[in-house]
Amino acid sequence: MKVLVTGAAGFIGMHVAQRLLNRGDQVIGLHNLNDYYDVNLKLARLAELQKHAAFEFHRIDIVDAPALEQLMASAGFDSIVHLAAQAGVRHSLTHPHAYIQSNITGFLNVLEACRRHPVRHLVYASSSSVYGGNKKLPFAESDNVDHPVSLHAVMKKSNELMAHSYSHLFGIPSTGLRFFTVYGPWGRPDMALFLFTRSILEGKPVDLFNDGDMQRDFTYVDDIAEGVVRALDRPPSSNEKLDKMKPDPAHSWAPYHVLNIGNHGPAALLEYLDALEHALGRKAQRNLMPMPPGDVKATFADTALLTEWTHFSPGTPVRDGVKRFVDWYRGHYKV
């Protein structure tokens, strides 16, 4: 296939693009290379992708509708994996306008481009944050998600609703993937594993929110990439038999659905930190902090629909994934 990957120089985008390239697809990567975090890390990811002859890069911001339209018109893509977005739950508390621009206007531009230049399948990133204040665990796609606790969650749920309307109106097959706490090599510097590793190696305290009493469904990035590619290969179809008297948020009469991608086994934050200490051979200084606004105590993915649809279930143990990250970190930063 000829696949457009937006956000290709990002953490998940790089891994998805690599997986597609390794199996023989042609990948056109798009990224704006903004300075939300270290641009050099993005350029290093990009350099890895540019080792493949079948990879082509365009520096385009998805907010730039004419540039995106020109690329779509000239390239003729089979499918799109849309991962470009303003990231970071806590960042959304202080920079809300950046979220609206990238995650709403940008996504609208992608949908409009698919409307004018139809593709076999649009797969896009959603997030476990859409479950918001829900307390029932594990989180299932059929759960109500009308109680967000951060603007990040609002944006991701908005994307799902926008995608549904375009799937209904214009027949665009779309799949929203709700990612659960992704970690691994080439990760983002603003995420816990990266921050913890840097702090421990520099002899600085590690901030543990809610006094460390938190659980996350930590999902290794290779499992995420595998799930994305498998979902990409199987677009949803219309289901006219759906009972509109009993609507299910996970399904639709339109060619649309959403799927969780998580490890289906949450780990305590302190267990995650223990795995990191073991991999580094050093103990962390622990700075216990209150729960920050917009955060939740626990996440846990019900992945039954993912397994049923793609015949794949993530399962990398936290200790294995954390060790692989540490090995990459030491090699990349020569620590």
pLDDT at 252: 92
pLDDT for position 245: 83
The DSSP line for 126-164 is EEGGGGTT--SSSB-TTS-----SSHHHHHHHHHHHHHH
pLDDT for 135 equals: 92
Residue 255: asked if its preceding bond is cis (omega within 30°), the reply is: no
Give the integer Cα–Cα distance in Å for 6 and 4.
6
DSSP 257-301: EEEEES-SS-EEHHHHHHHHHHHHT-PPEEEE-PPPTT--SB--B
Residues in Cβ contact with 134 at an 8 Å cutoff, skipping those fewer than 6 apart:
143, 144, 145, 147
Instruction: Give the chain's domains with CATH numbers.
Output: 2-180+221-263+301-315 (3.40.50.720)
**Which pLDDT belongs to residue 99?**
83
Q: Is the dihedral of CA 59, 63, 68, 70 positive or negative?
A: negative
CA–CA separation, 109 and 116 (whole Å): 11
Q: Would you write out the chain's pLDDT as a tens digit for each of its 335 residues?
A: 999 999 999 999 999 999 999 999 999 999 999 998 999 999 999 999 999 999 999 999 999 999 999 999 999 999 999 999 887 777 777 778 888 888 999 999 999 999 999 999 999 999 999 999 899 999 999 999 999 998 889 999 999 999 999 999 999 999 999 999 999 999 999 999 999 999 999 999 999 999 899 999 999 999 999 999 999 999 999 887 788 888 888 889 999 999 999 999 999 999 999 999 999 999 999 999 998 887 889 999 999 999 999 999 999 999 999 999 999 999 999 99
